[in-house]
Every structure is written in structure tokens, then in C-alpha cells.
């Protein structure tokens, strides 16, 4: 018995499928108008649903219904060591994302803190892979309890902002798995997230968004992830 999604997919043309997996405008994909498939709408997190922008640029729309709860950053949340609170925080984020008409919240950030110079450390939970994964899993369950897909990021080995779109993270297999992938593995297996965002950087010379070892061998085959893989904004390199 086919699901409704499978039946619709079978009716889509190749051109329609391609349009649906690309960004049509800021934080939004193309829908399948012919079959009544709405676009997928996303928003940044995790400290509250991001304000709305005009479709073609980063100019805020600025209207009164933009106001949402200003949630604590992940580093502050981690300082509580409280997974129940992480769930509640995610639940608030998911509820308010749903109220704003979103399908996916691009959160939580779960990269490992390795350098004090990383400008986005406040978005990440911890230096500890095990702890990061446990907090992230609870946060994700909270988001998805509200019918919104959580999208943890940035997969993987993204622990600096300097040349973040082009830098090459050189790491051996043991360090990769024990330090950089543990949190993501827990988020996927225990949090059951429906989406995952890749990072801009290269990992051992290959961009993360097209990395066979990370995406096919580990993510899909070993961890059994069957959700959507989303590139960071503009982070798709080889379209062939």
C-alpha cells in the first residue's frame, strides 16, 4: 500500500521534483502547484523563531505578529544540565514555529566547542559530545512534539567561523567519530529528527554537503537516517 506522499511523488515530473528540492526564495522551497503540494517553509532557531524577511533578500518585513519568545541560547540551556527543560524549550520553539506557519525549524546547533574564537559557540551546547547529544535529543523531541521538523546543524566538523565556507577540517576517523559525530548520532537515534543540515566546510578535502563517507556510509547506512538532508544557505557546491 502506497502512502499519499509516494502516490504524489510518482505523479511529479522530473522538473517538478528538481524545483521542490531547491530554494525558491528565502527560507522556502518550491511547491508542486499542479498537484496541490505546498512549499516547505523554514526558519532559523534556536533562540526563538526568526523574524520574517522579504522573499528575495534579507530585509525584515517587520510587522506586529513577528514577536515570539526570546529563548535562552543553547550554551545557557546546557548550563542547567536539565533535559526536561531542554524538551520544554524545544516545545515552545516548535509551537511558535507552527504558529508562524513554518514546517521546519533550523535548530538546534550541536557542533562541538573546540575554539573560544568560534563566533557561534553560544548556539552550541557543550565541549562534551555525549552531553551535547543528550541535550539535543531532548530539545528535538520537544520541537517535534508540536508537529514541526527539527533540523540539527551543522553536519559536520564545523567548529570555527574563520573561512567557514571554504576551510578544510582535517581529522582522523577515530576523532571524527568520538568527538564530532557522537552528538549528531544521539540526536538522530534518540531525538528522531526529521531533517539534518550540512556544514559549509570541507572535511578531509571534500565539502560536507557532498561527502559520501559522512552522508551515505555513516548517516544513511550506519545510523539509518531517512529524513531530509538540507544544505546550509548557498552551501551546495557540485550540482552534477
SS3 per residue for 16-48: HHHHHCCEEECCEECCEHHHCECCCEEEECCCC
Phi-psi domain of 214 (left: phi exceeds 0; alpha: psi -120 through 50; beta: other): alpha
Q: Is 21 exposed, middle or buried (0-12, 13-18, 19+ CB in 10 A)?
A: exposed
Indicate the average pLDDT of the chain: 92
Q: What are 156-191's pLDDT values in tens digits?
A: 999 988 888 889 999 999 999 999 999 999 999 999
CB 131 within 8 A of CB 79: no
Cβ partners under 8 Å of residue 91, min gap 6: 142, 143, 145, 146
The β-bridge relationship of strands 42-44 and 104-106 is parallel
Average pLDDT over residues 38-49: 91
Cβ partners under 8 Å of residue 140, min gap 6: 90, 108, 150, 152, 187, 191, 192, 193
Pick 119 or 134 by higher pLDDT.
Answer: 134
Q: Which three cell numbers stand for residue 92?
A: 515552545
Residues annotated as part of the active site: 232
How far is it, in rounded angstroms, from Cα 215 to Cα 83? 28
Q: Which residue has the cell 550506519?
A: 222
Give the percent of the chain with pLDDT over 90: 72
Q: What are 160-169's pLDDT values in tens digits?
A: 888 888 899 9
Picking from 39, 123, 111, 117, the residue whose alpha carbon sits closest to that of residue 74 is 123
Amino acid at each position: 500500500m502506497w502512502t499519499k506522499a509516494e502516490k504524489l511523488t510518482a505523479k511529479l515530473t522530473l522538473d517538478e521534483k528538481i524545483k521542490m528540492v531547491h530554494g525558491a526564495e528565502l527560507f522556502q522551497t518550491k511547491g508542486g502547484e499542479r498537484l496541490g503540494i505546498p512549499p516547505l517553509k523554514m526558519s532559523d532557531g534556536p533562540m526563538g523563531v526568526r523574524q520574517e524577511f522579504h522573499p528575495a533578500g534579507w530585509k525584515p518585513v517587520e510587522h506586529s505578529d513577528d514577536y515570539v519568545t526570546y529563548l535562552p541560547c543553547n550554551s545557557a540551556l546546557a548550563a542547567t544540565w536539565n533535559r526536561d527543560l531542554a524538551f520544554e524549550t524545544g516545545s515552545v520553539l516548535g509551537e511558535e514555529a507552527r504558529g508562524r506557519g513554518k514546517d521546519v525549524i533550523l535548530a538546534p546547533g550541536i557542533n562541538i566547542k573546540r575554539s573560544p574564537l568560534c563566533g557561534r559557540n553560544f548556539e552550541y551546547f557543550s565541549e562534551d559530545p555525549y552531553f551535547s547529544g543528550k541535550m539535543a535529543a531532548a530539545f528535538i523531541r520537544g520541537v517535534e512534539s508540536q508537529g514541526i521538523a527539527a533540523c540539527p546543524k551543522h553536519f559536520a566538523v564545523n567548529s570555527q567561523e574563520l573561512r567557514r565556507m571554504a576551510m578544510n577540517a582535517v581529522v582522523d576517523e577515530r576523532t571524527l567519530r568520538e568527538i564530532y559525530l557522537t552528538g549528531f548520532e544521539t540526536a538522530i537515534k534518540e531525538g528522531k529528527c526529521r531533517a539534518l543540515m550540512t556544514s559549509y566546510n570541507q572535511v578531509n578535502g571534500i565539502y560536507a554537503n557532498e561527502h559520501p563517507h559522512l552522508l551515505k556510509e555513516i548517516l544513511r547506512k550506519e545510523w539509518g537516517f531517512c529524513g531530509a538532508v538540507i544544505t546550509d544557505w548557498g552551501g551546495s557546491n557540485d550540482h552534477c
